[in-house]
Structure 1
């Protein structure tokens, strides 16, 4: 899903006060973690994820993999925090 800059700004504002729902550990991106992220996206639609430590390119690849597998859209990536969005069937978040 392609988001406009206005929609991205809106989603970043909503995600700002949220705590990370999923934290990736030393194991990295396992199938179980991907399933947990997908389930959390179905329930919450907007998700903040704390990525495991590593270099910037590795974290970016993790985020791309998460978005690819879950069909979500990356909203923001700052340091070890990432925000992804996947609208639900009955979306509780109304985008501007």
Structure 2
């Protein structure tokens, strides 16, 4: 799914007040972390991830890994903070995605 400019702008505004849920350290991104990130996205649709100073990975590498493995959309990368979006599989958790799709029309 490719997000348009208005959709990304809306998601950035929604993510502004969020605190990062996950931190990537020197251990990098492992299978357990990918599973937890996917579960968090399934319930929240929009999360932030923070890269710690001791990590060897760049934000771009982490973003590419997440996009390829859990099929999420990287909305924004600011410094060492990533904003991720993925449509929730269950209808009851879809609070943000209907508004995002309405902006795309």
Alignment TM-score, normalising by the size of structure 2: 0.83
Work out the number of aligned pairs and report it. 95
Q: Which residues of structure 2 form unaligned runs of 5+?
A: none
Task: Note the C-alpha offset of 1:13.
Answer: 0.2
Give deviations 1:13-37, integer Å, cap 9, x for gaps: 0000000011112101111111111
SS at match of 2:61: helix
For residue 92 of structure 1, what is the aligned residue in structure 2? 95
Give distance in 2, aligned partners of 1:58 and 1:50.
11
Structure 1 residue runs of 4 or more that deviate by more than 6 Å after TM superposition: none
For residue 50 of structure 1, what is the aligned residue in structure 2? 50
SS at match of 2:58: helix
SS at match of 1:27: coil
Alignment TM-score, normalising by the size of structure 1: 0.90
**RMSD over aligned Cα, in angstroms?**
1.5
SS at match of 1:87: coil
